[in-house]
Amino acid sequence: MYLGVDCGTQSTKVVVIDLDGERILGEASRPHRLDEGEGGRREQDPGEWIEALRGALGEAVSRAGIGPRAIRAIGVSGQQHGLVALDAAGQPVHPAKLWCDTETAAWNAALVERLGGETGCLDKLGLVLQTGYTASKVAWLRERHPDAYGRIASLLLPHDYLNFWLTGEKVSEAGDASGTGYFDTRTRRWREDVFAEIAPELDPERVLPRLIASQEPAGTVRPEVARELGLDDGVLVSSGGGDNMLGAIGTGNIRTGLVTLSLGTSGTICAYSPAPVIADNAMVANFCASHGGWLPLVCTMNVTSATTGIRKLFGLDLASFSERVASAPIGAEGVMLLPFFNGERVPMLPEATASLDGLTSVNTTQANLCRAAVEGATLGLRYGLDQFGALAEGVEEIRLIGGGSRSPVWRQMVADITGTSVVCPEITDAAAFGAALQAAWCHRSQSRGGELAELCERLVHLDDGSRAEPDPASVAAYDDVYARYRRSLAERHAIA
């Protein structure tokens, strides 16, 4: 049996998979608290991730109906970009700043300028620094909390931190490291000269984790942790990776022609490439994949976070909210929401706020406002897909994951807005599932070998009942709505 962990923004999820039976035996999750403040501050206590992992693991194994000694390997997926700065005793010097933290926007802009603008970033890193990446968080901590900064002994990402707790090893892999802002995504190496611009007092050889290959184990579970969790000695922990990278594995997106689109707290779009990609647009990040190859990716910051906000504003449960969305027409009778509640990464508007346009005494209804929230989030994802340019040509299918993918209305909306066939994998919590598949790949590689593609072929199953095909009339109608969305961007934020 193999165990997959996904430490996300809102919770840590754990799944147990039976490789021979080709199925999930058990799953569970535990929530985290999010500490939000003025100026875009969004932080969490890394200790809560460990407590959530403990609780979710025990429940998932219990639900699987197996003893924990059946587990052979563990894979960990984590929210990308988070800064976990540890002291010499392995304790955080400051709460973890998360991917959705925009407090460091000014530090990011200054770093981009020091590195030579977009051209300099592309030359050094293969991508352009964006607010939310780890680099600006380190620079912010250096200036705003010099005492904490002075105690730094190591810098880890969230999934690296959980691997460290499990194994005692401080390691990272190329997929998650791609989002730090001090890693060359083409050569898969730390850029020590770039790191020196960010944190000149810190020795990169001392504070940055050792890089390992995707199929290489991070280590084995520490004896004391194994005893606590009831595991056998010698349980492998795979390299793990960022949630987007492990989500790609969990959807079988390890070949060209597929796109994985996540309707989660944030929205992500990624497509596999066998070679590094330098896109025409700086908003497309040339990230590495966590199985070899590359995973060019676009991330928007307001998807279910935006729709949940509107739903709660009206006191609606999910079923009632979906009914309101379905009852309103395409375009919500002219109501347009730019849902930049958390600022935005694509388009690059880290300090933006949400705006609502087109309201009249006739169209201001609950149904239209609910539909405008879902449409606004989805139109933003189409804007992100447009940034791929030629990379999106020849895409045969969008594989939809995340909480929003459970909504038939939303699935059809994605198909109509993108003009592409949409289908969900049977397992939509793809990051934890992908982590378990990577763990199985790692374990098999240590003994008899084995290809990840074969594992994905056997275990990643599509839910044909979820498939949504674009309706030509709706596609045409949404082309007009999207043109209005682009005009709104231009009028309010000078975005062409």
- Is residue 449 over pLDDT 60? no
- The fraction of the chain above a pLDDT of 90, given in percent, is 84
| DSSP letter assigned to residue 36 | E
State mean pLDDT over 366-371: 98
Which H or E run includes 321?
A: helix 318-327
Tally the domains of the chain. Answer: 1
The pLDDT score that the predictor gives to residue 450 is 65
pLDDT at 472 over 70: yes
Mean pLDDT of 33-53: 96
Q: Say whether 416 is catalytic.
A: no
Q: Once rounded to an integer, what is the mean pLDDT over residues 51-60?
A: 97
Q: Point out the catalytic residue in the list 243, 317, 471, 479.
A: 243
205, part of any domain: yes
3-state secondary structure the chain: CEEEEEECCCEEEEEEEECCCCEEEEEEEEECCCEEEHHHEEEECHHHHHHHHHHHHHHHHHHHCCCHHHCCEEEEEECCCCEEEECCCCCECCCEECCCCCCCHHHHHHHHHHCCHHHHHHHHHCCCCCECEHHHHHHHHHHHCHHHHHCCCEEECHHHHHHHHHHCCCEEEHHHHCCCCCEECCCCEECHHHHHHHCCCCCHHHHCCEEECCCCCCEECCHHHHHHHCCCCCCEECCCEEHHHHHHHHCCCCCCCEEEEEECCCEEEECCECCCCCCCCCCCECCECCCCCECCEEEECCCHHHHHHHHHHCCCCHHHHHHHHHHCCCCHHHCEEECCECEECCCCECCCCCEEECCCCCCCCHHHHHHHHHHHHHHHHHHHHHCCHHHHCCCCEEEEECHHHHCHHHHHHHHHHHCCCEEEECCCCHHHHHHHHHHHHHHHHHHCCCCHHHHHHHHCCEEEEEEECCCHHHHHHHHHHHHHHHHHHHHHHCCC
Q: Is residue 360 part of a domain?
A: no
CA 327-333-334 angle, to 5 degrees, is 140
Compute the average pLDDT of residues 323-338.
98
What's the confidence (pLDDT) of residue 367?
A: 98
Domain that holds residue 73: 2-243
Confidence category of residue 281, pLDDT binned at 50, 70, 90:
confident
Can you give the CATH number for the domain in which 98 is found? 3.30.420.40
Mean pLDDT value of segment 256-283: 87
pLDDT at 494 over 90: no
187 residue type, one letter? T
Residue 176 belongs to a domain: yes
Give the pLDDT score at 96. Answer: 98
Query: In the predicted model, what is the mean pLDDT of residues 160-186?
Result: 97
Condensed to tens digits (0 to 9), the pLDDT of residues 57-104 reads 999 999 999 888 999 999 999 999 999 999 999 999 999 999 999 999
Is pLDDT above 60 for 368? yes
Is residue 95 in some structural domain? yes
3-state secondary structure 465-492: EEEECCCHHHHHHHHHHHHHHHHHHHHH
Mean pLDDT over each residue of the chain, to the nearest integer: 94
Gap between the Cα atoms of 232 and 250, Å rounded? 26
Q: How far is CA 261 from CA 242, 264, 318, in A?
A: 15, 9, 21
Which of the two residues, 174 and 20, has the higher pLDDT score?
174
Residue 83 CA from chain centroid, whole number:
15
Average pLDDT (327-337) is 98
Residue 333 maps to a domain: no
Query: At residue 234, does pLDDT exceed 60?
Result: yes
37 in any annotated domain: yes
**Percentage, residues of the chain above pLDDT 70:** 99
What Rg, from alpha-carbon coordinates, does the chain have? 22
Cis peptide before 347 (omega within 30 of 0): yes
Contact 184, 237 (CB under 8 A): no
pLDDT at 392 over 80: no
User: pLDDT tens across 286-330, in order?
Assistant: 999 999 899 999 999 999 999 999 999 999 999 999 999 999 999
Is 446 within the bounds of a domain?
A: no
Is 496's pLDDT higher than 90? Answer: no
d(C-alpha 415, C-alpha 398), whole Å: 8
Whether 104 is covered by a domain: the verdict is yes
Checking if the pLDDT of 390 tops 90, the result is: no
Q: What is the pLDDT of residues 404-423, one digit of tens each?
A: 999 999 999 999 999 999 99
